[in-house]
A and B are shown apart, each in its own frame.
Chain A
């Protein structure tokens, strides 16, 4: 084992792992963090804490991770290269590990264009692939990115994202291979609605044996309404929502659409469980964290294994 991460232990034991996420509040509201994280207790193995998601200012991922860690839960520190240079990243990583946060996710982050500070400077000192390499070097070689020796290396279990639905599709397996080469341990994918395309991507992943080198967790987001489905299809870059899905959501009365969304989500999980190389699920129930235990229950993923 490379780390003390519960997620690593679950995966190593051969269980399907489950993570979910919690977006920190837009203000100094620590109880909001506790409230959201509490809803996930017992249902998941790790809780991603987003880092200024959609380029909107929120409580820092690090601070919210500490709150969650202090609740005895397992936060996953998300870190984007948009807002921090390599100095700030490394100091936050050491800081996080010092609070017992042992799992993280390396991302490039949404462009500020989409957020509440479109006038902000982009940092992008390093990209997500280089961030993976940096964290792995800190952990395995006990060295800072700049080359100096690091006392007390942060033993981080290192994750990254993958979007099988972005273009060019033919490059998407190769991009995963770059992350594998950089040292990624687990992948959480973009929300999967087009299961056929995802399976095609997984075929490419398996053909190259990448599924043996990295644990791929399938990204799932339940849809609350047909409006949300349309929004995801039309407004969110790199999202692939098939028309049949929108039709299915539109085909049920408004008050039953949320339930239909959950049903779709559970069906997706059942189908994806059968896909070779899928090692778990990442449930992104956006502002709908309370539904995660029900989804887990219905998908047959409870109780969570003790490792």
Chain B
């Protein structure tokens, strides 16, 4: 999923200060799963903002809407009837959802309430970790199912570097050394000989190196 974290309150307050009627948007997809911007978080943020502005003697009105999927124009369209009642929109969706709202409503200020962080997986209750950088040409087939691009601090395709210590990364003892994980799995799979096949320099054109990317599926378009 795409993970996100709520921005600091002061930043949100600064964005909203010039406005009185706010449309606060959540999204029912990834940000709900990572507890950053679903219906529940929209409700909590709405209360917090209203209390804060009321305390400043400048009450605001907030309408709360959580869309099924904010990165999808079909659902964003549902806002048409409500958008005029708002001076500004604050979105708790990931960057994709926020931009979709901004694209649809050209003359409406739209502010992010979260920092979109990474594509990751849940490690345990309340902990998410990065797993994929969307390089556009998956290497997991030759790295034993562990991505060194997303999970090695130096993005080494032929690691580990000399800083791997007791399975941890030199950058932070909370980070697992991706190459230790790869090696452990290669051993478990009985495929250690694969380690010595050098992975050639990557063609980054399928990633951000080729500029903003687009997928066009002729069969669906």
Which A residues contact B (CB, under 8 angstroms)? Answer: 81-82, 86, 108-111, 113, 122, 124-130, 133-134, 145, 161-163, 165-168, 171, 174-175, 177-178, 181-182, 190, 237-238
Of B156, B172, B195, which contacts A171 at CB under 8 A?
B195
Of B154, B172, B198, which contacts A124 at CB under 8 A?
B154
**Residues 127 to 172 of chain B near chain A (Cβ within 8 Å):** 153-167, 170-172
User: In the assembly, what is the distance between CA of A46 and CA of B179, in Å?
Assistant: 33
Q: Could you tell me if B198 and A166 are in contact, using CB atoms closer than 8 angstroms?
A: no
- Please give me the residue from chain B that is nearest to A123 by CB atom: B155
Q: Could you tell me if A145 and B155 are in contact, using CB atoms closer than 8 angstroms?
A: no
Q: Could you tell me if A178 and B201 are in contact, using CB atoms closer than 8 angstroms?
A: no
Which B residues contact A (CB, under 8 angstroms)? Answer: 153-167, 170-172, 177, 179-180, 183, 192, 195-196, 198-202, 204
Q: How many A-B residue pairs have CB under 8 A?
A: 99
Q: Could you tell me if A166 and B161 are in contact, using CB atoms closer than 8 angstroms?
A: yes
Looking at the assembled complex, report how far the CB atom of A98 sits from the nearest CB atom of chain B, in whole angstroms.
24
User: In the assembly, what is the distance between CA of A185 and CA of B196, in Å?
Assistant: 18
Chain B residues within an 8 Å CB radius of A181: 196, 198
Looking at the assembled complex, report how far the CB atom of A240 sits from the nearest CB atom of chain B, in whole angstroms.
10
Also in contact, A167 and B166, with CB within 8 A (given A124-B154, A127-B158):
yes
Q: Could you tell me if A127 and B157 are in contact, using CB atoms closer than 8 angstroms?
A: yes
User: In the assembly, what is the distance between CA of A218 and CA of B196, in Å?
Assistant: 23
Q: Could you tell me if A167 and B158 are in contact, using CB atoms closer than 8 angstroms?
A: no
Q: Could you tell me if B201 and A108 are in contact, using CB atoms closer than 8 angstroms?
A: no
User: In the assembly, what is the distance between CA of A125 and CA of B177, in Å?
Assistant: 19
Chain B residues within an 8 Å CB radius of A177: 196
Of B154, B163, B183, B199, which contacts A166 at CB under 8 A?
B163
10 A–B contacts, CB within 8 A, in A order: A113-B171, A124-B155, A130-B198, A161-B162, A166-B163, A174-B192, A178-B196, A181-B196, A190-B162, A237-B162
Chain B residues within an 8 Å CB radius of A111: 153-154, 163, 170-171
Q: Could you tell me if A178 and B170 are in contact, using CB atoms closer than 8 angstroms?
A: no
Of A124, A130, A161, A166, which contacts B164 at CB under 8 A?
A166
Chain B residues within an 8 Å CB radius of A161: 162
